[in-house]
A = this chain, B = another copy of it.
Amino acid sequence: MFTTRRYQHCAACGERVEYRMPSDDNRERAVCTVCQQIHYENPTNVVGTLPLADDGRVLLCRRAIEPRRGFWTLPAGFMELGETVAEGALRETQEEAGARVELQGLLSMINVVRAGQVHLFYRARLLDLDFAPGPESLEVALFHFSEIPWDDLAFKTVRATLEHQRAGRPELLITDV
């Protein structure tokens, strides 16, 4: 069974945890050996956008950080507490590409089970062309779909989302990579 087993110590009291099945549960959890607190580990959401200019070009960012430094991606990152999926997607688009967009509907929900992640991309319309790379991007550029650097994309979820948009299918893409 997939597990990250991130806990060696209790986040509440600092004593050792052990991985065991609580009596009312059906899988192993990090349980504190002293205060008995249970620490759950659950999948996280990565949220982003596929930003389109009015001429049909798509905005991509070349990554300045690992993993996949130097490869092209859609603006996306971990959803944070205190925001909605949509707000997180807008924030990441601003942070990574300096771009202002208008969200137009959910485009893809892609399970990345081995990473414990769900990737959620909105289709978005670029409100202007005044974008600029943020600290996590080397460059930001617009590509016609025929010009996308398909062999230099950072992640399978980015490829699947771009291919879904290129195919022009209106329905939400739900898949696993």
Contacts and interface: CB of A to CB of B under 8 A. Distances in A.
Contact of A8 (B13, B80, B135): B13
A127 interface: no
A43 B43 contact: no
Interface of A: 1-4, 6-16, 24, 26-27, 39-45, 78-86, 95, 106, 109, 111, 113, 116, 118, 135, 172, 174, 176
Contacts of A111: 84-86
What DSSP secondary structure best describes chain A's contact surface?
loop
Nearest to A10: B9
Given A42-B79, A106-B174, A11 B3 contact: no
Work out how many copies of this chain go into the complex: 2
Nearest to A122: B174
A109 to B, nearest CB: 7
A80 B106 CA distance: 23
Contacts of A24: 135
A116 to B, nearest CB: 5
B15 A14 contact: yes
B39 A42 contact: no
Contacts of A135: 24
A40 B7 contact: no
Given A11-B8, A82-B2, A111-B85, A118 B45 contact: yes
Given A24-B135, A172-B106, A174-B106, A2 B113 contact: no
